[in-house]
């Protein structure tokens, strides 16, 4: 069987564009999801009425249904919601790319929220008391005392989740987007070189994820643990995948 390396060589610039989009999507979803997820976890921790329940339902929903279905939902819903919120009242078509950014951010936020929530459990009750006794406001307490410890304790799991996110971005294939897999698939189908391109995609993902996991492992071992690390966690409600 003949492996057409040149086909890949010719397509390399486009493939790299796709890979750049994949990285972009991962980065946006990671940062946005982490911020949103931390906020959600705090809302649940503070037991804010109504909002807390909503977050709970949202997180359960996101963790119960497949990401592909979530992608279909958001692709359909986001323009509707935006239209509802906007002046015209008509659906604003966002385009698949923006939808993907929004979807992944919202989806990952649910997972990060659960991770952060488990981190809260790892924090000794005395930390809250020590902060309160000093007169720290709730905002300061969370910002300066609790959240830094939570993030430090859950950092390894957050990194692992981010690597999973990186792999999950490949699912934008179902929206016909031009991420790494999407572009590779498009070119492969056009040129009839499925074997070459899919193998290439697999190898590149393998290298990137292996390196990522290895870096994560090194980081976990090297970083001084001033805070007790969360090794595994089973949060009340659904167990995390």
By CB under 8 A, is residue 5 in contact with another protein? no
By CB under 8 A, is residue 98 in contact with another protein? no
Residues 111-130 that bind another protein (CB under 8 A): 124, 126-127, 129-130
SS3 19: helix
By CB under 8 A, is residue 159 in contact with another protein? no
Q: Which helix (H) or strand (E) holds 181?
A: helix 180-191
Determine if residue 89 is left, alpha or beta; phi over 0 gives left, psi from -120 to 50 gives alpha, anything else beta.
left
Give me the residue label for tokens 């001084």. Answer: 224
By CB under 8 A, is residue 66 in contact with another protein? yes
By CB under 8 A, is residue 6 in contact with another protein? no
Q: List, in order, residues 6 or more apart from 127 with CB less than 8 Å away.
A: 145, 146, 149
Q: Which is nearest to 206 in space by CA: 163, 169, 241?
A: 163
Backbone angles phi, psi at 163, to 5 degrees: -65, -40
Instruction: Give the nearer residue to another protein in terms of CB position, either 28 or 151.
Output: 151
Instruction: Give the nearer residue to another protein in terms of CB position, either 108 or 168.
Output: 168
Q: At what angle do helices 180-191 and 194-222 cross, to 10 degrees?
A: 160
By CB under 8 A, is residue 82 in contact with another protein? no
Smallest distance from another protein to CB 80, Å: 9
| Contacts to another protein by CB under 8 A | 1, 61, 64-69, 72-73, 76, 124, 126-127, 129-137, 140, 144-145, 148-149, 152, 167-168, 170-171, 173-174, 181, 185, 194-195, 198-199, 201-202, 205-206, 209-210, 213, 226-227, 232, 234, 238-241
């Amino acid at each position: 069987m003949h492996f057409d390396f040149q086909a890949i060589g010719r397509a390399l610039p486009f493939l790299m564009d796709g890979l750049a989009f994949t990285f972009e999507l991962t980065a946006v979803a990671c940062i946005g999801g982490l911020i949103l997820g931390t906020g959600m976890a705090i809302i649940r921790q503070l037991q804010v009425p109504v909002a807390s329940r909503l977050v709970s339902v949202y997180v359960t929903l996101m963790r119960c249904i497949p990401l592909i279905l979530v992608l279909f939902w958001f692709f359909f819903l986001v323009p509707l919601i935006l239209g509802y919120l906007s002046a015209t009242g008509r659906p604003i078509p966002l385009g698949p790319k923006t939808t993907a950014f929004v979807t992944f951010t919202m989806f990952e936020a649910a997972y990060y929220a659960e991770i952060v929530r488990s981190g809260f459990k790892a924090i000794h009750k005395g930390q809250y008391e020590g902060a309160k006794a000093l007169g720290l406001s709730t905002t300061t307490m969370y910002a300066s005392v609790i959240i830094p410890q939570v993030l430090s304790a859950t950092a390894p799991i957050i990194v692992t989740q981010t690597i999973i996110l990186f792999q999950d971005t490949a699912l934008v294939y179902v929206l016909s987007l031009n991420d790494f897999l999407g572009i590779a698939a498009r070119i492969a189908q056009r040129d009839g070189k499925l074997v070459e391109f899919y193998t290439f995609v697999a190898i590149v993902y393998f290298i990137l994820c292996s390196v990522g996991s290895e870096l994560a492992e090194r980081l976990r071992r090297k970083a001084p643990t001033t805070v007790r690390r969360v090794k595994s966690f089973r949060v009340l409600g659904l167990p995390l995948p």
